[in-house]
Amino acid sequence: MNPFDLLKNTQAIKEQTEKLKEELASIRVEGSSGGKMVVVTMNGQFEMIDIKLDPICVDNRDVQMLQDLIVAAHKNAMENVQEQIKAKSSSLLGGLGGLGGMDLSQFGL
């Protein structure tokens, strides 16, 4: 890609980036573990916004299992957020000269 073409598209990139940030703020995904004994809800900014525990997994004799289930559900939710981000970023930025594969961290995403 010609660097000068990229400079020409700076305003379009900024607009698409802002639109993507708005889209990401509205994402809500769940991650689960233990056959849905633990369900974590996360937003598109990787913030955990809810956690649901099946009462069966709350056993004071096996706290380690519950901790492991929470970590696994959180990891699953993060993976689901990443999939949503990829899908949204490729659809929004994909038309800007192949920017769909660009590292979006420089834009705060």
Contacts of 107 (CB under 8 A, 6+ apart): 13, 17
| pLDDT band with cut points at 50, 70 and 90 for residue 11 | confident
Contact 109, 13 (CB under 8 A): no
Q: What is the mean pLDDT of residues 86-100?
A: 64
- Does residue 99 have a pLDDT over 50? no
Residue 31, pLDDT > 80, answer: yes
Per-residue pLDDT band for 68 (boundaries 50, 70, 90) equals very high
Q: What is the mean pLDDT of residues 32-56?
A: 94
Q: Which amino acid is located at 93 in the chain?
A: L
18 phi/psi in degrees, rounded to 5: -65, -40
Give the residue-averaged pLDDT of 71-75. Answer: 97
State residue 60 phi and psi, 5-degree precision.
-65, -10
Q: Report, as an integer, the average pLDDT of 3-16.
A: 76
Q: Residue 42 is inside which H or E element, if any?
A: strand 38-43
Least confident piece of the model among 1-10, 36-45, 60-69: 1-10
